[in-house]
Structure 1
Amino acid sequence: MTLDLASHDIDVMRYVANADVVHVYAQTQQQIHSTHEDLLLGLLSFKNGAIGVLDVNWLTPTKVRELSVTGEKGMFLVNYLTQEVLFYENDYTPTDWDAMRSLKGVSEGTMTRLKVQKAEPLQLEYKDVLAALTNDVLPTVSGEDGIAVLQVVQQLAASKQALSGSALPDQPIQLTAMEVEI
């Protein structure tokens, strides 16, 4: 599942962050499949300080394919299924109350739906590769990008700690997770 689904999210995160992953952490669960994980929660640290969160699974009863990118000025929300892009602006409200002036927070501001040209993603991918071969140029996603994504997937697999589906014991347990430097 990590290789099948998470690899696409990792590729997008690397593209958006415009940086390589330098550190990963993962937790997985295996509930319905006998040979591999069904759920992955992962944390990726990028060379430029950006952080990515993976929440990938085969357990939800409906397809959820979303990407959110959060920054100081707001959040972009991309829905891959409907091919919609929304921007939620952070709204900073000034206050005259001295005791609250030192606290900074955000509230929901204006939501903007961005116009995007809808297209079939696999068809665009094929066209990009064919254009690269025809015009002797590099495709949008290079072989090096693919190798970098596979390295992150391998590191997530090395980092993962499978949690059993059994009931919690009466005594507290200590969970440890392995962190991996890339």
Structure 2
Amino acid sequence: MANLRAGLIGLGMMGRHHARVLGSLDGVDLVAVADPGGDRFGVGGDRLLVSSVTELIEQGIEYCTVAVPTAFHEDVALELAEAGVHALIEKPLAHDVPSSERIAEAFEKKGLIGGVGHIERYNAALQQARARVANGDLGEIFQVATRRQGPFPGRIADVGVVKDLGTHDIDLTAWVTQQQYLSVSAQTAYKSGREHEDLVAVVGRLSGGAMTNHLVNWLSPLKERTTVLIGEKGAFVADTLTADLTFYANGSVETTWDEISRFRGVSEGNVVRYAYAKPEPLRVEHENFRDALLGAEADIVSMRQGLATVRVVEACIESASTNQVVKV
């Protein structure tokens, strides 16, 4: 069976990583790359370098990874859909809900496979958490709390921290819990002199009754990527920087010390840090998209799921501007 013919448009900070993985992915030939600004990182090697998605399509590609700035997602995606080319589009799917809807509808109309690059889903810590939550290891989920903070990345210019970093936490929360957002309340701040927000705090309610809160910023010298899931049997702490998952069990040992035994909540039990394989999330993402194209079992972030995340993001921005709780 011949390898899939792949293209890549966008050769910036994220695009160069896509090029590295696509260039070494079994069953795939990266036949051409595109960027109107050229290949400044030299990631294309000896592959054909063109300047537009039109020229990429002319190379007979079967699918394309889109890593251009968010503002250009719609134009690129719609041209790929019209040409019958499957696409994996970096998150967020598009800069707003109407654009995201048009992209999803275009791919559905053509019967094409479209995916969104929410890479955190493929982090081993969250893959483990998702499987263990589905297995009932935490019982009912009460709360999901995420912290995603660090210095400002110079590569981001066209969106704020909600649409860039915040989309990770919104998507992973819905995916790990298998619950949808019902409402959000958010506050944002503008501290770095840019037109877009660089700090957000979000409180949300999920369809299964769980509460969620997200603290996201580009203002901290400390880089942190932490997800805490609290349930009736204990808590999971996922660190996606190290891909570690730790389980804090509720205690089951009777407390005889009077002063402590008056406490009516849970107590501390065993603590376990799980051992498992930790493959590169970006490679796992591409492997799943390749398998989906080949008709094999795969777990991709569909465009409809990507659209749902954009809806929540816009609800967060609306909430911050109106100072009200917004239903999703």
Instruction: State the TM-score, normalizing by the size of structure 2.
Output: 0.47
- Report the Cα offset of residue 116 of structure 1: 2.3
Offset, 1:106: 2.3
How many equivalent pairs are there?
168
CA–CA distance in 2 between the matches of 1:100 and 1:111? 20
Secondary structure of the residue that 2:222 maps to in structure 1? coil
- Are residues 1:177 and 2:323 paired? yes
- Higher mean alpha-carbon deviation, 137-146 vs 40-49, is at 137-146
2:292 paired with 1:146: no
Q: Any residues of structure 2 matched to 1:80-95 within 5 Å, and which?
A: 80-94=240-254
Are 2:185 and 2:326, in contact at CA under 8 Å, matched by a contact in 1?
yes
| Cα drift, residue 96 of structure 1 | 6.2
Q: Is the alpha carbon distance of 1:144 and 1:63 closer, same or farther for their aligned partners in structure 2, counting shifts above 3 Å? A: same
Q: Which residue of 2 aligns with 1:156?
A: 316
- The whole-number CA distance in structure 2 between the counterparts of 1:155 and 1:53 is 14
Deviating beyond 3 angstroms after TM superposition, the runs of 4 or more aligned structure 1 residues are 92-103, 136-139
**Other-structure match for 2:13:** none
- Counterpart CA distance in 2 for 1:100 and 1:68 is 25
8 A Cα contact 1:68 1:75, kept in partner: yes
What stretches of structure 1 of length at least 5 have no aligned partner? 162-175
In the TM superposition, what whole-angstrom CA distance separates every residue of 1:87-142 from its partner, at most 9, and x where no partner exists?
01121554568998775122322110111211111111111111101226664321
- Structure 2: state its 5+ residue gaps: 1-160
In structure 1, the partner of 2:287 is 127
User: Which residue of 1 is the match for residue 213 of structure 2?
Assistant: 53
Residues of 1 paired with 2:296 and 2:269: CA distance?
46
Whether the 8 Å contact between 1:26 and 1:156 is mirrored in structure 2 is: yes
Aligned twin of 2:163: 3
Contact 1:92 1:105 in 2 (8 A): no
Structure with bigger helix share is 2
Aligned to 1:109: 269
Distance 2:283 2:259 in 1: 56
The residue identity in structure 2 corresponding to 1:179 is: V
How many angstroms does 1:144 deviate by? 1.2
Q: Distance in 2 between matches of 1:70 and 1:33?
A: 36
Question: Residues 99, 86 of structure 1: CA spacing in aligned structure 2 closer, same or farther, 3 A cutoff?
Answer: closer
Residues 148-178 of structure 1 deviation map (CA, whole Å, 9 limit, x = unaligned): 00100010011115xxxxxxxxxxxxxx821
Partner of 1:168: none
Identity %, equivalent residues = 35
Which has the greater radius of gyration? 2
Q: Quick check: 1:35 aligned with 2:195?
A: yes
Q: TM-score, normalised by structure 1?
A: 0.83
CA contact (8 A) 1:91 1:109 kept: yes
Q: In structure 2, what is the equivalent of residue 16 of structure 1? A: 176
Q: 2:238 aligns with which of 63, 66, 78?
A: 78
Larger RCO (CA under 8 A, 6+ residues apart)? 1
